[in-house]
Amino acid sequence: MKLRWRSGNRARLLENGEAYFPAVFDAIRGAQTEVIVEAFILFEDKVGFELRAALLEAAQRGVRVDVMVDGFGSSDLSAAFVQPLIDAGVRLRSFDPQSRFLGLRINVLRRMHRKIVIVDGRLAFVGGINFSQDHLAEYGPQAKQDYAVALEGPIVGDIHRFAINAIRAGDPHYAGPARAAPRDAAAQVKGDVEALFVTRDNAEHRNDIERHYCAAVRSARRRIVIANAYFFPGYRLLRLLARAARRGVDVSLILQGEPDMPIAKTAASMLYEHLQRNGVRIYEYCQRPLHGKVALVDDRWCTVGSSNLDPLSLSLNLEANVILRDAAFAAQLRERLERLIVNDCREVAVPPAHGLRWWRVLRTFVVFHFLRRFSRWASYLPRHAPKLETP
């Protein structure tokens, strides 16, 4: 499905589960005709049970409810959790579920990593926040820092049609009826935000998200701020970030300092020296694990979504981001990220030039040439059709 920029939208930034979950659950409780949920992770915890309660309530009053979870990220849902949803008429589907081998989840590649909620074809949520308690500060030191956006206006029609097509592509038994959002953009105008819904798949849109990142970085004139949990992008984006810094753009990266997966920090740190020597400033968020996937370019272009800047997200997983052009939203995101830098980050010091060792030069050389081709070799890794199954 070909998507395009839509004007006339309203966008609201939601930071962490404290803002995201109440907004989503209230929207579901107010649904009149339809709820669609796509989630990489749905856990049986405080958040998961509250989502289930809201979905059950909606289904029991006649709202059509479709839920798609990932077979790897949400592999442990019990029959006791699932059956009440099915009994209430919720259409629950799992993306590529697989049996465990020796207790291990082996279906790690090409996951459905999107996080989308659509209510009545009029309100949509897109971001990086899963339905799990570890997105709430009360979870403790391992609670995740993350972002999502609530959207109203013509862009919701694009997101809604995409979600319906995703169900239809993976479920041959899908019959509807699922009412598409109205096509009359004028009737949906809610604000002044321009928005573009961008996805990544393993067929027609394999590099769309990366391509939009590159275009924005290439056009930057004043500042670039990227906050991304898993940072190991392709050579092209690295080169563009370095070039932007060299031509005087203030380029700042907010990356993990207290990672939920240590290998993510190790991989990202291998790129620090090259970027720093070109003028890129790198900050590590040390308050708790960073899970965000947001970026800001100049004072107007922003993106919020599920896509990390690593080989899994850029070359394998199914992802969804929304790109926004709006000065007010950009100012809000900038304020949140600057506050994060000032209060909760430490800047990584640039290593002295005389401390450059031969093994670090060799390591950088190997990493760069690995990155240069990763999207190509990733295309040869195992893939599968987007098969959906009822748990």
Is there a catalytic annotation at residue 171?
no
Q: E strands of 279-359, at which residues?
A: 281-285, 293-297, 301-305, 319-325, 345-347
Which residues are CB-contacts of 100 (< 8 A; sequence separation ≥ 6)? 75, 106
Query: CA-to-CA distance for 180 and 189, rounded, in angstroms?
Result: 17
From 191, 200, 167, 204, select the one nearest 305 (Cα to Cα): 200
- Active-site hit among 120, 158, 208, 310: 120
The catalytically annotated residue of 115, 135, 160, 265 is 115
CA distance 211 to 236: 10
293 is catalytic: yes
Active-site pick, 135, 144, 265, 293:
293
Compute the distance between CA of residue 346 and CA of residue 72 in angstroms, rounded to an integer. Answer: 34
Vertex 337: Cα angle to 336 and 338 (nearest 5): 95
The catalytic position among 96, 160, 291, 326 is: 291
**C-alpha distance across the termini of the chain, in Å:** 28
| Contact criterion met (CB below 8 Å) for 226 and 363 | no
Which residue is catalytic, options 113, 135, 144, 265? 113
State yes or no: is 115 an active-site residue: yes
Catalytic residue check, 120? yes
Among candidate residues 192, 201, 298, 299, the one labeled active-site is 298
Q: Is residue 291 among the annotated active site residues?
A: yes
CA-CA distances (angstroms) from residue 160 to 27, 71, 390?
15, 22, 21
Catalytic annotation present for 190: no
d(CA 271, CA 268): 6
Task: Give catalytic residues, as residue numbers.
Answer: 113, 115, 120, 291, 293, 298
